């Protein structure tokens, strides 16, 4: 059993100090230690993207990172997107309007990926959107409505 | 109802989306309970072998490990799992039911079969302890190939049998031999269809909380069938059904394998929880999913079609092998679906279909989206294409000549369907669907003008058109309870679960239309045996049809109660009353009325009496049990471009014209079709499970098992047609699997068309750029 | 997985034979070998650490049994390996042919079955890793051979 390592992380604007094992995955830290279960784990080998969170603003796959790597860093998960009373932000509203989710399990990963993408690419072309989506897997939707949701969101103002 | 129902055929955004989009939806692995322990399994690394010893002593000594169980520890609980679907009463049917033990004893029969269960403080410690358990297995040669598996010298997987034959079934309609004798041509080929996984993005998980003081067990399970799980587990554990609650909360995709029931993990966690008196959690990881969750799609067909020179089908004879994996708990549902779906929308007077199910040393096979339907469609559509080429008839034309006419319904095909009733098509109109598909894809223009023009430029483009018929909405039954609460909100509880199909919205739409309320005011509860405990589950494209019809029936009963009570209280005859906007009122004097919430309060008096023959409140429970399924159908069309140098295939256009009866929410129907098509494209060109000759799965991860991504799936065009089912009031038919049923057939047809003249014939699915390249090269020689 | 090929040792066959039977030399030459000891006539046991793709330092307990020895011309090996990430079983045949120089041309053929986790996720890499390990081992053995010949 490895010794516990003290880490300090800011998650969704809240500071946390915890002692963790070196081998604790970042996805498990978020879901279990911080009880933020909106981030989901689909493969644990970095392919499906369901575990995507923003790490200092950039999308990362939390299932192939360790919690200790987040020491001193800023994380954003899907729980940070909605307003204080649960109001959907424009990206989330676009997903609802376009039926961009069915079972919803892969959705947090898409939302975080797109949050970063649309922030950096406010006026993307159709094929840029398709490429941006291509690293997240969905088994329910066939991606058609996810694409429409992303396109719709790109046409509205984003925070 | 005088006006058209506002929510029928409406693109209503989903009630459940806000929770899913904000991370506030509960999935099984989200459940955290105080004192919870974590489970991991020691699994067989060999596909076939004899267990000579299991030594768990080191594992039990590891700090943080609470228990390690093997078959020897289970006592009477060690029993083979149940046969979930009994074979239908087909004459001369042979079926050997051999089901899995919760933990392997004596023998292992597939890689990943569970051998020991470890309970520890965390999943990390439990997985550490896996390496402490020393399992000695004397390997036996594995059975991987279906034909070799039936050979006399093949290793025997189930030693109480004399061979690896799991089942043998022949179904006949008419007399194929006489059809063959009359035929002008016979087209005959061997077709291969191979295994894939359902790959729901959420893996399976089970959480069990046994409260020894209240003697109540609560189970969260990613199952598609919470009620049968509850009933089965209660029986096995010696508890009353009412002592066990099974909750399938939000489930991240089902697609079939989550309706396999009594998986070892589902059986073992409750048993262990009752001994340890601690909540237990097991979450499957992705690699485990490739071994421990069921799969499907391995079949080999030797089929022939007899036709006249005008392309009229006289008969079909199909002999096939079906890979059932190491055990066969799900009976013969899949191969029987294959037998039935082969007929498609065509008039086939004489048909003989014979299959042999074979045990293999691979993961257990149970239905995955499509559940054997794609195989039947692949065979008949490919044979028609080959016949068309031989006879010089256009591919769409040959299909038109064989379609069952609209005046022939109901059509009784005499052979038995998976619900143990004769295969009957209830309704359908196939010619307009085919014509509409051909028109939208621009078939004529493509064949006559665009394709030759692009060919002249050296580009290889092709078009494919394939038809299918799908039996949906089968029984036995589902139920629902609808209640109008004093707040005016409506509660609708039903026993099926939800894995993304939008039940929280489509059932609400049906109820809202009947009661005249806003769809967002109908709160639907699914998959929770505490709320509703009679029913079966979501499978075979039946949720909307069967559970939806039950919701509709329950709501209609409540409507009756509303009218009767309001009539008395308002002193207005019932036929002058209307329900709209959450109120019931006199159509002649709309001010004279009250809100449904107020009426609900009055229906539950604190004083006075409830009159004999009535019930308090505005609530009703109803069940819907159709005699037979309703028949959906459709046509897929595709245009592809193939690069013969690299063997890559680009899908230029993909069209689905389908008929799923009355549509409740077109947006959700499109979503189901898109998802099915994407899955079908995966099965056609990207997804293949690769087993070596010793039954080792060589690509048990998403790195090597390729799911289609957003750049692999084209924009899918859809068109809806409606021939309502006569078997339910709303006229519903199922649509969950439609997208992936003819995809392989239409893909193969189009690729072959693109490579016309090269000699490439596609008789196998899945292809891949690699395999297509091999076929192109072989044809060159 | 079938691994076969030839390799030329720069020395006489008898000396090559000796090296191939010496566990200390083999332990140093085979990449990832932690220990390798002779435990009986023609039986060796050892621990190896192998890296294949995403699995780094996967530990295997191996036993090797030599059979069908025809000194100094040829022998076979039966290999059995078990580890946390999987197992391996196989056989290999070595044939040594002395040629003018003197040099020795070794022809090896092996058929190894891999199972368990390492087969499931390392598949694409197994063959290349196997080839690389074989090449490294043989080159190291050749260096040892030359060193011994050099020192007389």
In tens, the pLDDT along A36-94 reads 999 999 999 999 999 999 999 999 999 999 999 999 999 999 999 999 999 999 999 99
pLDDT band at B192 (very low <50, low <70, confident <90, very high): very high
For residue B727, the model assigns a pLDDT of 83
Residue with more model confidence, A157 or C67:
C67
- State the best of C52, C61, C116, C119 to mutate against chain B, taking most chain B CBs within 10 Å: C119
For residue C152, the model assigns a pLDDT of 47
> Which residues in B lie closer than 8 A to residue C115 (C-beta atoms)?
45-47, 111, 694, 696
Q: Is position B305 within any domain?
A: no
H or E stretch at B503: helix B503-515
For residue B542, the model assigns a pLDDT of 81
In this structure, the answer to whether residues B432 and B483 fall within a common structural domain is no
* pLDDT(C57) > 90: no
Range with the lowest mean pLDDT among B61-65, B743-747, C135-139? C135-139
H or E stretch at B250: none
The answer, yes or no, to whether the previous bond of B410 is cis (omega within 30 of 0) is: yes
* Matching fold, domains A4-79 and A90-156: no
Overall average pLDDT of the B719-731 stretch: 86
Distance (Å, whole) CA B324 – CA B334? 9
Distance (Å, whole) CA B677 – CA B689? 19
Q: Tokens standing for B412?
A: 């009784």
Distance (Å, whole) CA B373 – CA A45? 33
Long-range contacts of residues A50-57, Cβ cutoff 8 Å, at least 24 apart: A50/A105, A50/A106, A50/A108, A50/A109, A50/A136, A50/A137, A50/B201, A51/A27, A51/A109, A52/A108, A52/A109, A52/A110, A52/A112, A52/A113, A52/A136, A53/A26, A53/A77, A53/A112, A54/A112, A54/A115, A54/A116, A57/A116
B540: CATH: 3.30.365.10
Distance (Å, whole) CA C22 – CA C29? 11
* pLDDT(B376) > 70: yes
From B624, B640, B671, give the residue that closes a domain: B624
In this structure, the answer to whether residues B539 and B401 fall within a common structural domain is no
- CA angle, B695 as apex, B693 and B699 as ends, to 5°? 100
Q: Tokens standing for C62?
A: 């191996």
pLDDT band at C84 (very low <50, low <70, confident <90, very high): confident
Subunit partners of chain C (3 or more CB pairs within 8 A)? B
Overall average pLDDT of the C97-121 stretch: 89
In this structure, the answer to whether residues B606 and B688 fall within a common structural domain is no
* pLDDT(C109) > 50: yes
Question: Among the residues of chain C, which ranges form H helices?
Answer: 13-20, 23-29, 117-121, 123-150
Query: What pairing do the DSSP bridges indicate for beta strands B350-359 and B313-325?
Result: parallel
Overall average pLDDT of the B320-326 stretch: 97
| Domains contained in chain C, CATH given | 2-150 (3.30.530.20)
Give one DSSP letter per residue of C116-134, joined into a string. SHHHHHSHHHHHHHHHHHH
Distance (Å, whole) CA A48 – CA A113? 12
Q: Name residues whose C-beta falls within 8 Å of residue B495's C-beta, 6 or more positions apart in sequence.
A: B226, B227, B478, B479, B526, B527, B529, B532, B533, B534, B535, B536, B537, B547
* C138 secondary structure, DSSP code: H
CATH no. of A4-79: 3.10.20.30
Residues in chain B: 781
pLDDT tens, position by position, B630-643: 888 999 999 999 99
Residue with more model confidence, B512 or C53:
B512
Residue B407 burial (10 A CB sphere; 0-12, 13-18, 19+): exposed
For residue A157, the model assigns a pLDDT of 58
H or E stretch at A22: none
Distance (Å, whole) CA B401 – CA B389? 15
Query: What pairing do the DSSP bridges indicate for beta strands C43-52 and C55-70?
Result: antiparallel
Residue B389 burial (10 A CB sphere; 0-12, 13-18, 19+): middle
Residue A157 burial (10 A CB sphere; 0-12, 13-18, 19+): exposed
Distance of CA B252 to the CA centre of its chain: 14
Q: Is position B352 within any domain?
A: no
- Among residues B666, B467, B511, B537, the alpha carbon closest in space to that of B13 is found at B666
- Among residues A149, A40, A92, the alpha carbon closest in space to that of B201 is found at A40
For residue B225, the model assigns a pLDDT of 92
In this structure, the answer to whether residues B618 and B514 fall within a common structural domain is yes
Q: Is position B219 within any domain?
A: yes
Q: Is position B157 within any domain?
A: no
With CB atoms and an 8 Å threshold, state whether C87 touches B696. no
pLDDT tens, position by position, B576-606: 999 999 999 999 999 999 999 999 999 987 7
Q: Does A142 touch chain B (CB under 8 A)?
A: yes
> Which residues in C lie closer than 8 A to residue B698 (C-beta atoms)?
119-120, 123
Question: Among the residues of B540-656, which ranges form H helices?
Answer: 548-570, 596-602
pTM higher than 0.90, yes or no?
A: yes
CATH no. of A90-156: 1.10.150.120
pLDDT tens, position by position, C143-152: 999 998 886 4
Overall average pLDDT of the A90-117 stretch: 98
Distance (Å, whole) CA B495 – CA B534? 6
With CB atoms and an 8 Å threshold, state whether B203 touches A42. yes
Q: Does C84 touch chain B (CB under 8 A)?
A: yes
Overall average pLDDT of the A85-110 stretch: 97
Q: Does B136 touch chain C (CB under 8 A)?
A: no
* pLDDT(B417) > 90: no
Q: Does B255 touch chain A (CB under 8 A)?
A: yes
Q: Does C86 touch chain B (CB under 8 A)?
A: yes
Give one DSSP letter per residue of A72-107, joined into a string. T-EEE-GGGTS-TT-PPPHHHHHHHHHT--SS-SSH
- CA angle, B481 as apex, B27 and B562 as ends, to 5°? 135
Q: Which residues between 117 and 146 in chain B have a beta carbon less than 8 angstroms from any beta carbon of chain A?
A: 124
Distance (Å, whole) CA B736 – CA B412? 24
- Among residues B474, B622, B620, the alpha carbon closest in space to that of B545 is found at B474
- Among residues C41, C29, C97, C86, the alpha carbon closest in space to that of C62 is found at C86
- Among residues B517, B513, B418, B508, the alpha carbon closest in space to that of B471 is found at B418
Q: Is position B489 within any domain?
A: yes
Distance (Å, whole) CA A92 – CA B250? 18
In this structure, the answer to whether residues B249 and B122 fall within a common structural domain is yes
> Which residues in A lie closer than 8 A to residue B500 (C-beta atoms)?
101-104, 140
Residue with more model confidence, A116 or B617:
A116
In this structure, the answer to whether residues B415 and B395 fall within a common structural domain is yes
* pLDDT(B265) > 70: yes
In this structure, the answer to whether residues B130 and B229 fall within a common structural domain is yes
Nearest-by-CA chain C residue for B45: C116
Overall average pLDDT of the C33-45 stretch: 90
- Among residues B384, B451, B335, B440, the alpha carbon closest in space to that of B746 is found at B384
For residue C125, the model assigns a pLDDT of 79
Q: Does B34 touch chain A (CB under 8 A)?
A: no
For residue B739, the model assigns a pLDDT of 87
Overall average pLDDT of the B650-674 stretch: 93
**Domain count along chain B:** 3
Share the mean pLDDT of chain B.
94
CB of B248 within 8 A of CB of B527? yes
Share the mean pLDDT of chain A.
95
In this structure, the answer to whether residues B390 and B467 fall within a common structural domain is yes
Give me the residue spans of the domains in chain A: 4-79, 90-156
Q: ipTM, 2 decimals? A: 0.97
In this structure, the answer to whether residues B209 and B274 fall within a common structural domain is yes
* pLDDT(A102) > 80: yes
pLDDT tens, position by position, B15-27: 999 999 999 999 9
Share the mean pLDDT of chain C.
88
Distance (Å, whole) CA C148 – CA C152? 6
In this structure, the answer to whether residues B83 and B216 fall within a common structural domain is yes
With CB atoms and an 8 Å threshold, state whether B29 touches A31. yes
Q: Is position B308 within any domain?
A: no
For residue B426, the model assigns a pLDDT of 85
Q: Name residues whose C-beta falls within 8 Å of residue B232's C-beta, 6 or more positions apart in sequence.
A: B82, B261, B262
Q: Is C130 left (phi over 0), alpha (psi -120 to 50) or beta?
A: alpha
* pLDDT(B499) > 50: yes
Overall average pLDDT of the B433-453 stretch: 97
- Among residues B8, B1, B2, the alpha carbon closest in space to that of B507 is found at B8
Distance (Å, whole) CA A147 – CA A114? 11
For residue B2, the model assigns a pLDDT of 46
E-state strands within B535-643: 577-580, 583-586, 589-595, 618-624, 630-643
pLDDT tens, position by position, B125-152: 999 999 999 999 999 999 999 999 999 9
In this structure, the answer to whether residues B496 and B600 fall within a common structural domain is yes
Give one DSSP letter per residue of A30-46, joined into a string. IIIIS--TTS--S-SSS
* pLDDT(B1) > 50: no
Distance (Å, whole) CA B374 – CA B210? 42
Range with the lowest mean pLDDT among A64-68, A115-119, B732-736? B732-736
- Among residues B748, B525, B289, B678, the alpha carbon closest in space to that of A141 is found at B678
Q: Is B273 helix (H, G, I), strand (E, B) or coil?
A: helix
Q: Is position B356 within any domain?
A: no
Q: Is B5 helix (H, G, I), strand (E, B) or coil?
A: coil
Three-state secondary structure of B182-229: HCCEEEEEEEEECCECCCCCCCCEEEEEEECCCCEEEEEECCCCHHHH
- B527: domain range? 17-25+475-624
CB of B354 within 8 A of CB of B146? no
Q: Does A140 touch chain B (CB under 8 A)?
A: yes
For residue B103, the model assigns a pLDDT of 98
Q: Does B27 touch chain A (CB under 8 A)?
A: yes
Distance (Å, whole) CA B10 – CA B502? 14
Q: Does A78 touch chain B (CB under 8 A)?
A: yes
At residue B318, what are phi and psi to the nearest 5 degrees? -130, 130
In this structure, the answer to whether residues B552 and B655 fall within a common structural domain is no
Q: Is position B350 within any domain?
A: no
**Nearest-neighbour CA in chain B from C121: distance (Å):** 6
Distance (Å, whole) CA C29 – CA B479? 71
């Amino acid at each position: 059993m490895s010794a516990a390592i003290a880490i300090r992380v800011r998650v969704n604007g809240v500071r946390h100090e915890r002692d963790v094992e070196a081998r604790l995955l970042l996805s498990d830290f978020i879901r279990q230690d911080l009880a933020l279960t909106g981030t989901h784990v689909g493969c644990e080998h970095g392919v499906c993207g369901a575990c995507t969170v923003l790490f200092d603003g950039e999308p990362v796959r939390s299932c192939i990172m360790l919690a200790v790597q987040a020491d001193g860093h800023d994380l954003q998960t899907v729980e940070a997107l909605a307003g204080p009373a649960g109001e959907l932000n424009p990206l989330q509203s676009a997903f609802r309007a376009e039926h961009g989710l069915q079972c919803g399990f892969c959705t947090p990963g898409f939302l975080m990926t797109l949050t970063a993408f649309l922030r950096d690419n406010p006026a993307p072309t159709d094929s840029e959107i398709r490429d941006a989506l291509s690293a997240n897997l969905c088994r329910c939707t066939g991606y058609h409505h996810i694409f429409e949701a992303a396109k719709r969101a790109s046409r509205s103002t984003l925070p | 109802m005088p006006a058209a129902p506002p929510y029928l055929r409406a693109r209503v955004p989903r009630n459940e989306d806000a929770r899913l989009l904000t991370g506030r939806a509960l999935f099984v692995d989200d459940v955290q309970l105080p004192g919870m322990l974590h489970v991991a399994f020691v699994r067989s690394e060999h596909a076939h072998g004899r267990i000579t010893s299991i030594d768990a002593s080191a594992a039990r000594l590891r700090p943080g490990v609470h228990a390690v169980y093997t078959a020897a520890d289970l006592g009477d609980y060690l029993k083979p799992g149940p046969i979930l679907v009994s074979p239908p009463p087909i004459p001369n049917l042979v079926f050997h039911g051999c089901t899995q033990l919760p933990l392997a004893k004596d023998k292992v029969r597939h890689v990943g079969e569970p051998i020991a269960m470890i309970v520890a403080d965390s999943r990390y410690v439990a997985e550490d302890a896996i390496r402490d358990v020393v399992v000695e297995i004397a390997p036996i040669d594995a059975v991987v190939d279906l034909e070799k598996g039936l050979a006399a010298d093949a290793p025997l997987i189930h030693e109480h049998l004399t061979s690896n034959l799991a089942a043998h079934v022949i179904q006949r309609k008419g007399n194929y031999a006489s059809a063959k004798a009359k035929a002008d041509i016979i087209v005959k080929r061997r077709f291969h269809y191979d295994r894939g996984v359902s790959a729901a993005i959420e893996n399976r998980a089970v959480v069990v909380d046994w409260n020894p003081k209240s003697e109540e067990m609560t189970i969260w399970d990613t199952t598609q069938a919470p009620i049968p799980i509850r009933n089965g587990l209660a029986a096995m554990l010696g508890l009353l059904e009412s002592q066990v609650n099974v909750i399938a909360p939000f489930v991240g995709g089902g697609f079939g394998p989550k309706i396999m029931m009594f998986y070892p993990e589902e059986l073992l966690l409750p048993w262990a929880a009752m001994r340890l008196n601690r909540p237990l959690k097991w979450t499957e990881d992705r690699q485990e999913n490739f071994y421990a969750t069921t799969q499907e799609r391995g079949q080999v067909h030797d089929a022939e079609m007899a036709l006249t020179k005008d392309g009229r089908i006289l008969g079909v004879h199909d002999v096939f092998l079906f890979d059932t994996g190491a055990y066969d708990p799900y009976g013969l549902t899949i191969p029987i679906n294959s037998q039935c779906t082969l007929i498609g929308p065509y008039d086939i007077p004489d048909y003989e279909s014979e299959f042999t199910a074979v045990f293999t040393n691979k993961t257990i096979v149970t239905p995955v989206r499509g559940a054997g339907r794609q195989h039947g469609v692949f065979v008949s559509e490919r044979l028609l294409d080959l016949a068309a080429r031989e006879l010089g008839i256009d591919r769409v034309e040959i299909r038109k000549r064989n379609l069952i006419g609209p005046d022939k319904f109901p059509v009784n095909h005499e052979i038995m369907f998976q619900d143990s009733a004769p295969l009957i098509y209830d309704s359908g109109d196939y010619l307009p669907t085919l014509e509409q598909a051909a028109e939208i894809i621009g078939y004529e223009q493509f064949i006559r003008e665009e394709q030759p023009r692009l060919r002249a430029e050296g580009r290889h483009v092709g078009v494919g058109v394939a038809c299918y018929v799908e039996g949906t909405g089968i029984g036995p039954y589902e139920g629902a309870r609808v209640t109008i609460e004093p707040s005016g909100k409506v509660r609708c509880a039903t026993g099926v679960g939800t894995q993304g199909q939008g039940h929280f919205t489509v059932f609400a739409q049906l109820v809202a239309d009947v009661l005249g309320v806003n769809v967002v005011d109908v709160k639907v509860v699914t998959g929770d045996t505490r709320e509703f405990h009679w029913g079966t589950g979501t499978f075979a494209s039946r949720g909307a049809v069967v559970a939806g019809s039950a919701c509709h029936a329950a709501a209609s009963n409540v409507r009756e109660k509303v009218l009767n009570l309001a009539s008395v209280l308002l002193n207005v005859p019932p036929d002058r009353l209307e329900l709209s906007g959450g109120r019931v009122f006199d159509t002649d004097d709309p001010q004279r009325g009250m809100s449904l919430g107020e009426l609900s309060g009055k229906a539950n008096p604190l004083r006075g009496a409830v009159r004999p023959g009535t019930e308090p409140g505005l609530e009703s429970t109803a069940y819907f049990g159709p005699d037979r399924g309703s028949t959906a159908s459709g046509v897929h069309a595709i245009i592809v471009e193939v690069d013969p140098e690299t063997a890559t295939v680009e899908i230029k256009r993909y069209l689905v014209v389908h008929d799923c009866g009355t549509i409740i929410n077109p947006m959700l129907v499109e979503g189901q079709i898109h998802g099915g098509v994407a899955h079908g494209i995966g099965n056609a060109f990207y997804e293949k499970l690769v087993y070596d000759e010793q039954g080792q799965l060589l690509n048990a991860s998403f790195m090597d098992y390729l799911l289609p991504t957003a750049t692999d799936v084209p924009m899918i065009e859809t068109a809806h047609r409606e021939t309502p089912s006569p078997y339910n009031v709303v006229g519903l038919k199922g649509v969950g699997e439609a997208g992936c049923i003819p995809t392989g057939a239409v893909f193969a047809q189009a690729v072959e068309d693109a490579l016309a003249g090269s000699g490439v014939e596609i008789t196998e699915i899945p292809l891949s750029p690699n395999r297509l390249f091999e076929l192109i090269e072989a044809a060159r020689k | 997985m079938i691994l076969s090929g030839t390799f030329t040792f720069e020395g006489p066959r008898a000396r090559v034979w000796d090296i191939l039977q010496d566990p200390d030399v083999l332990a140093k030459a085979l990449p990832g070998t932690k220990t390798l000891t002779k435990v009986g006539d023609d039986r060796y046991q050892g621990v190896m650490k192998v890296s294949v793709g995403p699995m780094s330092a996967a530990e295997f307990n191996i036993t090797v049994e030599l059979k069908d020895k025809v000194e100094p011309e040829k022998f076979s090996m039966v290999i059995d390996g078990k580890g946390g990430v999987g197992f391996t079983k196989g056989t290999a045949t070595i044939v040594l042919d002395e040629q003018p120089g003197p040099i020795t041309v070794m022809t090896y053929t092996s058929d190894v079955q891999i199972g368990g986790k390492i087969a499931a996720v390392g598949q694409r890499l197994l063959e290349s890793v196997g080839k690389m390990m074989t090449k490294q081992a043989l080159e190291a053995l050749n260096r040892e051979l030359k060193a011994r010949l050099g020192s007389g």
